[in-house]
Chains A and B, each alone.
Chain A
Amino acid sequence: MKRMISIFPVLALAGLLLVVAACASIKSIPGLPDSHPESLIAGQQINCSECHDNSSKGTMKPLTAFSHTKIFVKNHRYYASSDDRLCSVCHKASFCADCHTNQVEMKPSVKYGYRPDLEMPHRGNYMAVHKIEGKTNPASCYRCHGRANNERCIACHK
């Protein structure tokens, strides 16, 4: 026990030195800029690799990984869950909140009825087919309506 007590200050000092060294090293790690330096055209599918041909400082991923192809838009959850700091360089948080919200007031496709070019869920009269889609792949419903944004679901699903 005494031996443990004598070792403890040494370990604490070593730990402290590691923390200090890590903090000092952090200052040498580059960060992303807080916003895109040039305006981007609203509504345009952006291909980052048109201008960027390498990893951007701070992303550590090639920018081809973030080109907004149709496939990227449909599967953006993978990218957002590991790198939403890069998303926020060009997109405000409200851009995400149009669909990802705790309590939705109206379908995003209604709010943006003048933008049929945008990829948005439940376009048209989805009520009729949701009974089929919900059985085919309920996990896709759960992602948005499982623990939030389900005020309209519980009106019928009691």
Chain B
Amino acid sequence: MIDGAGTVKSMQERLGAEVMDARAPKPRRAFVRVSRGAFGKAVRHAVLDLGFSHLIAITAAEVGEEMEAMYHLACMGATVLTLSVRVPKGDAVLPDISEIMPSAAIYEREAQEMTGIRFEGLKDDSNLVLPKGWPSGVHPLRKDQTYEGLVKVKLDLEKG
């Protein structure tokens, strides 16, 4: 089974300068950030070549003027690789990976409505968790969404 350092090394060998940041802080943890262009290649390498076939979740986060999507992948249940990619807020689009990872769709839909990153190619991109009628541009986990603002959206929704 591959460990954190081995994962980082393999990703760097395969993707070269496309790896923007990589580290293995613990034996069973690796964090690798790749460029947007190399994302598809990176996912295929991790899942198909290295055996990171268990998708734990997708975390979407805001980093300044960019959005980051982090794919937490586990190999044999043990080593966890967090493969991340950043896209600018104005063009926050990533490909859907449910072709190679069938369980991804549920996490992609969650990330899409909560943070506004669009996953291109999703078969069903309707809201999974937000209430029916929720305004399309309001993504609750964005930093500009305040607690008070979200209460107002919800109250307006209930009033109809």
Is chain B found bound to chain A in the same assembly? no
Chain A residues packing against B (C-beta within 8 Å):
none
- B: residues with CB less than 8 A from A are none
